Structure 1
Amino acid sequence: MKVAIVHEWLDSFAGSERVVEQLLAEWPEADLFVLCDFMPEAERGFLRGKAPRTSFIQRLPFARKHFRKYLGLMPIAIEQFDMSGYDLVLSSSHAVAKGVITGPGQLHVSYVHSPMRYAWDLQHQYLREAGMERGLKGLYTRHLLHKLRIWDRASALSPDVVLANSSYIAERIRKVWRRDSIVVHPPVDVERFALRAEKEGFYLTASRMVPYKRIELVAEAFRRMPDRRLVVVGDGANEARVREAAGGAPNIEFRGRVGTEELVRLTQAARAAVFAAEEDFGIATVEAQACGTPVIAFGKGGACDIVVAPPAERPTGLFFAEQSTEAIVAAVERFETLRFAPEDCRANAERFSHAAFRAKMRGIVEEARR
């Protein structure tokens, strides 16, 4: 069986690249296709020595730093890949990869991280944050996104099987593409985040500091709880706002960006991990659970697939119902009255292991080929 794996682009090793890594582990003989490849040499190990085949976007002016600005050309570029010699095509798609063209006798399974949010329900937020609500540039961008929506809906018919990385994304797929999908949670390196039963007295929030993560709400909540310690890990464009929300409170400690070993140590030691974002899935949530650390999370999005909340027999965390300081304070206070077993958290995380992901993917492909 000849296998092709199709991915949008390679420039950093993030969540979608973890999926590609495990697809290559399960189908090591596969050829890899990407629109462009600017992955740093130090991060290329997951490619297993493969040289990805790239599109014409790779050679366009200034593509190395600004390839995302060629979004309008990406549907055309993805359609130029010749898949005719492959029995199985696996696409890893958060934009256009699902639109690769296949024919009769070929099986196309598309793992969807999310439909293009900026082209659908987040268009107005995207234009607002980019300062393009008005003017000729804004008008052109609206036209481009309109065209992308038409292509996106049409190309969503291309895959034979659509997979969603969470129940939340499955609902978005149903809404914008009118297609059913199978939920296959993304792979998480639960072996690296080992169980530690002994916890220390601090709470942890670890994330890139970007607006949708809502870390400022967590910081403000702990400023109101001076008897409870919070460790904040990460940096980013929203850091000044987070620090302002913390107000210099002595119980809130900023660690900045830390290495993997230190992140693992902090996650293992934390009394609980706090997440205020509405995530498509939430790999950091699983990593916390793998360490035996309970999670306090906003009860919407991918976290609902991960955290086992009371009144379940073996809870691994709890949810708060709205993204507000008051809701986080109330959740922490409730957390203090409950008991969570580190072993239950770890067992819960095992559902998302590399091996579990590969077995699920192999099973879906074999079932679809019958």
Structure 2
Amino acid sequence: MVRRRLCCARRLSRFRHARLGSDPQCPSRRLAARRASLPRKSKRCACAPPCRAISGYLNGTALVHDYLNQRGGAERVFAQIARAFPDAPIYTALYDPSVTGDLFRGRTINVSPLGKLPAVNRYFRALAPLYPAVFEAFDFSGYDTIVSSTTAWAKGVRVPAGAIHVSYVNTVSRFIFAYDEYTRGFALRDLARPIVGQLARWDREAAQRPTRLIANSRNVAARIRAHYGRDAEVLHCPVELDRFTVGAGAGDYFFIASRLLPYKRIEIAIDACDAAGVPLLIAGSGPAEAALQRHARGTTTSLLGFIDDRRLNALLGNARAAIVPGEEDFGLAPLEAAASGTPTIALRAGGALETIREHETGEFFDQPASAALQQAIARFDRSRYDPQALRRHAETFSPAAFTERLRQLVADAPR
């Protein structure tokens, strides 16, 4: 039944960009014609380091992201990827510029037919069975390089023969391989389990399609190897350093900036801070927001909802510490805190092990339990940390270094 539904969705969502297929003035068509006219021995430029044969090959590049209707870490990283390829058009299932703000302003963005459905961004997670067909229907005729950024779907696009596809993987699909944890507290999750089984099979197949996989951390690279049987290069996410300035650290509160999802385990921090008698501010939105509002009633925690970058910088820079109570794929939040001169208390697991230097840029607690976090809060001493040293640590994850390495990994991908 699911297979029939996917086939129907594929037929319904077939759409082609005629300008790419027939316009002789299309840049990618001109590029292809230019390449065809070259002698075979001229495929590699003799005056440049090993890279694509023709300078300006970026005219034939397209970018893909799952959906651009949120403003979290994955979207910010994709914005950095987009800056690395400034002329490349973007393909995505959904786009909500009122949420992403200026991240993709001025870019050519091709949105799937799903993006035209009324109020689709309110229930987009429920459309999971349709996304495989949506991404397989994108037409990349005329492009020789596709760069995708994905937590689930974009790695499954189909590309023309001879083209390369480099996929930056933010995580192995949590809603498939960590289904119980990802959907904890959601109604009807047992009814959806058979559909998830079908999607898991598609996900494994789709992960074999890219020419090269890039993981955002060693943690995610290990998951890729375990679930997909493939090796991945590791390229850590960049920190947008210009968004943050070192604060005074004068506040008495702890701080969380996060999407509000069950696997983030934010209730652990609410309980720990309440037991310790210290204020906790939580910035962010997501499906678990209402449940966390109920959980925080009568405690020392305040949920702020979505806040802009200016307020985020101010709150982060003046916090006693940032808190990361759940296992993260990479651990961007500790680096954003460090860029503000603020240390982090995090669960000793996942990507945080790659972004926190214990006793230098933060502290760990060992069990995903409020009692363990409460003990870490009790031991924590803000005066031990040098804000400028924290900032220097964040600067080692610079956007410039990320862009240079990403371009090289794309240029060196085997054809």
Query: So what's the TM-score if we normalise by structure 1?
Result: 0.85
Q: Does 1:89 align with 2:115?
A: no
Counterpart of 1:36 (choices 86, 91, 94) is: 94
Instruction: For residues 120-168 of structure 1, give each alpha carbon's deviation from its aligned partner in whole angstroms, at most 9, with x where no partner exists.
Output: 232x34566333355xxx1xx2332121111111111111110112222
Closer, same or farther: CA 100–51 of 1 in aligned 2, 3 Å:
same
Q: Say if 1:161 and 1:286 are closer, same or farther in 2 by CA, change over 3 A.
A: same
1:255 is displaced (CA, Å) by 6.2
**Aligned: 1:106 with 2:163:** yes
Alpha-carbon contact 1:4-1:90 (below 8 Å) kept: yes
Q: Partners in 2 of 1:361 and 1:145 — Cα distance?
A: 32
Q: Distance in 1 between matches of 2:125 and 2:291?
A: 22
For 2:333, what is the secondary structure of its paired residue? Answer: helix
Matched, 1:70 2:131: no
1:234-255 CA-to-partner distances (Å, cap 9, x unmatched) read 36223334424xx54xxx3636
Q: Residue 263 and residue 148 in structure 1: after superposition, are their counterparts in 2 closer, same or farther (change >3 A)?
A: same
Candidates 212, 215, 230, aligned match of 1:179: 230
| Aligned match of 1:239 | 292
Structure 2: state its 5+ residue gaps: 1-56
Q: How big is each residue's C-alpha offset from its partner over 1:168-197, in whole Å with a ceiling of 9 and x where there is no partner?
A: 22222122111111222223222221123x
Query: Equivalent residue of 1:273, what SS?
Result: strand
The whole-number CA distance in structure 2 between the counterparts of 1:3 and 1:133 is: 39
Aligned pair count reads 351
State the partner residue of 1:204.
Answer: 254
User: Once the 2 structures are TM-superposed, how far is the Cα of residue 303 of structure 1 from its aligned partner?
Assistant: 1.1
8 Å Cα contact 1:275-1:297 kept in structure 2: yes
Aligned to 2:270: 219
Identity across matched positions, percent: 35
Q: CA RMSD in A?
A: 2.6
Is 1:188 the counterpart of 2:239? The answer is yes
1:276-326 Cα deviation digits (max 9, x unpaired): 12122233221111111111111112211110114xxxx211111111222
- Structure 1 portions without partners, runs of 5+: none
User: Which portions of structure 1, spanning 4 or more consecutive aligned residues, are displaced by more than 4 angstroms?
Assistant: 59-62, 125-128
SS at match of 1:185: coil
Cα distance change on mapping 1:62 and 1:255 into 2, 3 Å: closer
Instruction: Check the 8 A contact 2:215/2:233 in 1, yes or no.
Output: yes
Is the 8 Å Cα contact of residues 18 and 187 (structure 1) preserved in structure 2? no
Find the aligned partners of 1:234 and 1:73 in 2 and give their Cα distance.
31
SS in 2 for 1:90: strand
* Pair 65,105 (structure 1): closer, same or farther in 2 beyond 3 Å: same
Out of 66, 69, 74, the position equivalent to 1:8 is 66
Paired residue secondary structure (1:47): coil
Q: Which amino acid aligns with 1:256?
A: L
**CA offsets 1:93-135 (integer angstroms, 9 cap, x no match):** 111110111244322110111222112232x34566333355x
Distance of 2:275 and 2:125 partners within structure 1: 41
Residue 328 (structure 2) aligns with: 279
Residue aligning to 2:202: 151
**Looking at CA atoms only, which structure, 1 or 2, has the larger radius of gyration?**
2
Judge conservation of contact 2:181–2:262 (CA < 8 Å) in 1. no
Distance in 1, Cα, partners of 2:216 & 2:197: 25
1:130 is matched with which residue?
A: 186
Aligned partner of residue 111 in structure 2, secondary structure: coil
